[in-house]
Amino acid sequence: KLVSGKEMLLEAKSNGFAVGAFSAHNAETVQAILLASAEQKAPVMIQIGQRVIRSIGMDAMVGLIHSLGRDLDAVVAIHLDHGSSFEQAMLAVQLGFQSVMYDGSHLPLDENIRITRQVADAAHALRISVEGEIGRIGGTEDDRTVSEEEAFLTDVSEAVYFSEQTGVDYLAVAVGTAHGLYKGEVKLHLNRLRQIAEQVDKPIVLHGGSGVPDALIHQAISAGVSKINVDTELRQAFALAAQRVWRDDPDEYHLAVVLGEARDAVKQKVAEKIRLFGQRGEE
């Protein structure tokens, strides 16, 4: 079942859990996320990022979600991750996404506001939810790299201003997490996060969910995070499972065997994150 992104996150916010937004890259990862959602009875976002858009395309990914989800009880919002332009966001809306992110965080504030607001106005006319980003999240997302020093935390009053001016439904902030795995210790700026969540009063999105220790995830949710993006840990689970199959039998040429193991590993990882994020399925 496809549901509104905004409603999904408002439900999470008022019940004190976070929705997992899981990145999909192929048929098996789509299937893994759908199966985990259905088995855990938990709503999820399946997010389509810039790399998979370049390699497979939004259209094909949406087709996979529809066809693989048809006979499952998954509850899903299809989400555009780090949307790169107004045009791309509109294409996603046309293709039937329930949620689109426009990422103008690398732009000057007024430019970020201008384009995000355009996206929000157009998407809202069709009841599609919108995520904006303010502040710089560290790490590498597709081809954009933000170094530790360059990464700067979201400013509280700027976040409030951005939220009011753009009309976004939820807001991605930079509070210490980074895309990818971490070399050193993760430092979450929980006070900053709490202040932003209180003053913005909309669901807050945490990017860079992979590699964040479980205890910190709990603290982030208590501080007001309602959507947590997870990509790298899923790709890692996929890769490790495929490597295991080929290590045991380098002559295993049945891709269904290799990809099946990889899918099951991703499904387990998604289920683990759903439980960590406190999503409780109804009995």
Per the annotation, binding residues for dihydroxyacetone phosphate are: 180, 208-210, 229-232
Q: In this structure, are residues 203 and 12 in contact, taking their beta carbons and an 8 Å threshold?
A: yes
Report the C-alpha gap between 158 and 218 in whole angstroms. 26
Query: Please, which of residues 167-196 interact with Na ion by CB under 5 A?
Result: none
CB nearer to Na ion: pick between 203 and 211: 211
- The pair of structure tokens assigned to 113 is 């506001």
Nearer to Na ion, 176 or 208 (CB): 208
Phi, psi (rounded to 5 degrees) for 261? -60, -40
Collapsing DSSP to helix, strand or coil, 157 comes out as helix
Beta bridge partners of 19: 227
Please give the size of the binding site for ligand 13P, defined by CB under 6 A: 14
Tokens of 207: 């990017």
CA distance 46 to 162: 26
276 φ, ψ (degrees, to nearest 5): -60, -35
Which of the choices Zn ion, Na ion, ligand 13P, none does residue 230 contact, using the CB cut-off of 5 to 8 A by kind? ligand 13P
Q: How far is the CB of 3 from Zn ion (least distance, A)?
A: 22
Q: Does residue number 210 form part of the binding site for Na ion (CB under 5 A)?
A: yes
Residues marked active site are found at 81
Choosing among ligand 13P, Na ion, Zn ion, none, which partner's interface includes residue 69 (Cβ < 5 to 8 Å by kind)? none
User: Is residue 141 within 8 Å of residue 179, measured between CB atoms?
Assistant: yes
**Of residues 220-249, those binding Zn ion (CB under 5 A):** 229
Annotated binding site: 82, 103, 133, 179-180, 207-210, 229-232
Amino acid symbol at 67: S
* Binding-residue pattern over the window 127 to 166 for ligand 13P, x denoting contact by CB under 6 A: ----------------------------------------
Candidate residues 6, 202, 207, 269; the one interacting with Zn ion per rule CB under 5 A: 207
Nearest to 217 by CA among 139, 279, 145: 279
Closer residue to Na ion (CB): 141 or 169: 141
Total chain residues near Zn ion (CB under 5 A): 2
Residues 180, 245, 264, 268: which binds ligand 13P (CB under 6 A)? 180
Q: CB-wise, 72 or 208, nearer to ligand 13P?
A: 208
Q: Does 272 bind ligand 13P (CB under 6 A)?
A: no
Residue 180 CA to chain centroid, in angstroms? Answer: 13
Kindly state the tokens that stand for 3: 């549901």
CA distance 160 to 255: 49
Question: Does residue number 229 form part of the binding site for Na ion (CB under 5 A)?
Answer: no
Residue with tokens 């990464």: 151
- In sequence order, what are the beta bridge partners of 84? none
Considering beta carbons, is residue 166 or 242 the nearer one to Zn ion?
Answer: 166
Residues that bind ligand 13P (CB under 6 A): 23, 81-82, 179-180, 207-210, 229-233
Residues that bind Zn ion (CB under 5 A): 207, 229
